[in-house]
Amino acid sequence: MSYAQKRCGACRFLIGTPAALERAVPGYNILSSAYGSVRADTGLCDRHDRFVTAATEACPDFSAAAPESGSGRG
Amino acid sequence: MSSTTQDAWNEGGAGAKPPSGGWSDVYLKEDWWAIWLGIGLMVLAILLFEGGASGIAKAIAINPGGLKWTTFDQLGAHFAANGNLYLYQFLFWLVLFGVTTRIMGVPLAQFIPSFLILYVLSVIMFAIAGWANAAKFNMEAPLVALILGLVIANVFPLPKWMDSAFRVEYYIKLSIVLLGATFPITLVLTAGPVAIAQATVISLITCLVIYFLGTRAFGLDRRLCAVLGVGGAVCGVSASMAIAASVNAKREHLYTSVTLVVVWALVMIIVLPFVSRSMGLPAGVAGAWIGTSEFADAAGFAAATTYGHMVGNEDAAIKGFTLMKVIGRDLWIGIWSIVWAGIATIVWEKKEGGKKPDAREIWWRFPKFVIGFFVASMLMTAFTGSFPTAEFNKDVRPNVMLPLVSLRTWGFIFCFLSIGLTTRFRELHAVGWKSFWAFTIGVGVNVVLGYILSVVVFGGYWGAL
């Protein structure tokens, strides 16, 4: 698997969809939104409890998401 | 996780894809939908005007806010006479928001019932605002909407899925694009540099105060302090999220920012308008002060609109706020993102995380709806520029501008209600005293410095809006 395929965006530990992120941080949608441009593709790594930029970061604990789940967990 | 290995992996990311869906962003991000809808509504209003069918635009934009009713009979007669128009309007908004949020991934089965409730509550808010004595009792629509929403959300156990239609940011972004249609581009160009200069001072000083207080005086985690600093200095939770990715902050760090930003934003929505009135500030000056003090666009618009209603000059208050906050401070998000990514990577120990700074972040994280604001302003300025003043006031203002202003006001009311309806205090995270004081002192600096800049340094300038 190439480096590009192992980025956080393709990892099963990533909480990356807008709806999942808003569930993961209650109150986030009060004065902000996971659907906005400012978030870009920031996601939450559930393995390391870290916010990451999904398309440009990676780590050795990568574990491929199921193909049908798209970008990380939703 | 091994830090060396982590860095090696991240450094292998040269030439990485942009952190977004690329072109798919134009239909998956609400910023872009706000642009498409806002510009589309503006063009529609112009086409209807040119085709002699402005009545359609006025009918769709109906609201009871200007009734000045004194008896319930008058109010009832208005709704009896226009019931069909409100039904069409509801369907109009439902289709626009329902389809676009569905494309972004929000289930329609959740959106429709939730939006129905939001629409009915909004009609009630407009009706209250249209009461002839509303101003006497400080029943400004934004404040009433916020308080009603807070009461409902915290007294009645609204299911979480109802948040599907309580999209605070989407409504405020659409309203800002529509605001651009009534905002002369000449004002943006002449006032922009002052707003950016003032925003630069605020952004730098507030962020650094929170960061150094938090790290040096209170010994807090520096990632938490970076998240709090930018949240207080730029645009609240949205900025905090952007910086959380830059410094690889923890969930708890963002959670802390959410709580502090929400609590202080709500306090300032209520306090700033009354303090401004007690000081007798001109509307444009108060708008600029609110723009330098509030964190979130939605909260700031609530405060600025409230003050505008109080002093009978909503236009100047909104202009001052928009120039200061939307054009001045919001532009700092991308810059802070790469600055903190650089600090995390180059200055801090690499083992604490962080990723290489990338100048493209300025574009990736740019609040795109601001582009819509500029485009709407330029297009409408070009369109209206060909009309003599008398013709503009007689034909264009009532048939094009006022319907757009009314649609914008609907967006504001949807937004202000949604702030209250999504604020469940029981969901907010407990915050430590050190975090509280670091952020709160930053808020104080923001407010005092914002006052000095808006009233003393640039007061004459903002007062002329």
Domain assignment present for A36: yes
Q: What are the respective helix, strand and coil percentages of chain A, to the nearest 5?
A: 25, 20, 55
Q: Which helix (H) or strand (E) holds A53?
A: strand A50-53
Domain assignment present for B181: yes
Check CB contact under 8 Å for B9 and A42: no
Domain assignment present for B3: no
Domain assignment present for B302: yes
Q: How far apart are CA B243 and CA B73, in angstroms?
A: 54
Check CB contact under 8 Å for B241 and A55: no
Contact of B284 with B320, CB cutoff 8 Å: yes
Residues of B in contact with A17 (CB under 8 A): 105
**How many structural domains comprise chain A?**
1
Q: How far apart are CA B367 and CA B411, in angstroms?
A: 18
Across the range A17-28, mean pLDDT stands at 94
Residues of B in contact with A63 (CB under 8 A): none
Q: Which of B366, B426, B265, B425 is nearest to B25 (CA)?
A: B366
Q: How far apart are CA B190 and CA B167, in angstroms?
A: 33
**Shortest Cα–Cα distance, A49 to chain B (Å):** 5
pLDDT value for B361: 79
**Shortest Cα–Cα distance, B163 to chain A (Å):** 8
| Integer Rg of chain B from CA | 22
Take residue B410 and report the two structure tokens written for it. Answer: 């609907």
Nearest chain B residue (CA) to A43:
B245
CA angle B64, B67, B73 (to 5 degrees): 95
Residues of A in contact with B359 (CB under 8 A): none
Structural domain span for residue B107: 25-463
Domain assignment present for A50: yes
pLDDT value for B140: 85
- Tell me, rounded to whole angstroms, the distance of Cα B372 from its chain centroid: 14
Residue A48 has pLDDT above 80, yes or no: yes
Contact of B337 with B246, CB cutoff 8 Å: yes
**Shortest Cα–Cα distance, B226 to chain A (Å):** 13
Q: Which helix (H) or strand (E) holds B435?
A: helix B433-451
Nearest chain A residue (CA) to B294:
A31
Q: How far apart are CA B402 and CA B441, in angstroms?
A: 42
pLDDT value for B16: 43
Across the range A45-59, mean pLDDT stands at 92
**Shortest Cα–Cα distance, A3 to chain B (Å):** 8
Structural domain span for residue A53: 4-60
**How many structural domains comprise chain B?**
1
Sort residue A40 into left (φ over 0), alpha (ψ -120 to 50) or beta. left
Q: Which residues does chain B have with pLDDT short of 50?
A: 1-18, 352-354
The model's confidence at residue A1, banded by pLDDT at 50, 70 and 90, is low
Query: Burial letters for B327-336: b for 16+ Cβ neighbours within 10 Å, e otherwise?
Result: bbbbbbbbbb
The position carrying tokens 């869906």 is: B21
Which one of A4, A32, A52 has the shortest CB-CB distance to B248? A52
Sort residue B279 into left (φ over 0), alpha (ψ -120 to 50) or beta. alpha
Take residue B264 and report the two structure tokens written for it. Answer: 């202080």
* Long-range pairs of B395-401 with CB within 8 A, sequence gap ≥ 24: B395/B49, B396/B49, B398/B58, B399/B45, B399/B49, B399/B54, B399/B57, B399/B58, B400/B45, B400/B46, B400/B49, B400/B54, B400/B57, B401/B181, B401/B182
The position carrying tokens 């969930």 is: B251
Check CB contact under 8 Å for A56 and B32: no
Q: How far apart are CA B248 and CA B223, in angstroms?
A: 8
User: Which one-letter amino acid corresponds to residue B452?
Assistant: I
DSSP helix/strand/coil, B322: helix
Enumerate the H helices of B138-184 as residue ranges. 141-155, 168-180
Nearest chain B residue (CA) to A38:
B365
The model's confidence at residue A46, banded by pLDDT at 50, 70 and 90, is very high
Domain assignment present for A45: yes
Residues of A in contact with B18 (CB under 8 A): 55
Domain assignment present for A49: yes
DSSP helix/strand/coil, A11: strand
Contact of A49 with B254, CB cutoff 8 Å: no
The position carrying tokens 């009792």 is: B137
Check CB contact under 8 Å for A61 and B1: yes
Take residue B81 and report the two structure tokens written for it. Answer: 């006479």
pLDDT tens column, B100-122: 999 999 999 999 999 999 999 99
Domain assignment present for A69: no
Domain assignment present for B13: no
Across the range A53-63, mean pLDDT stands at 90
Q: Between these two residues, B420 and A1, which has the higher pLDDT value?
A: B420
Check CB contact under 8 Å for A3 and B355: no
Domain assignment present for A20: yes
**Shortest Cα–Cα distance, A6 to chain B (Å):** 10
Check CB contact under 8 Å for B259 and A38: no
Domain assignment present for A37: yes
Check CB contact under 8 Å for B17 and A42: no
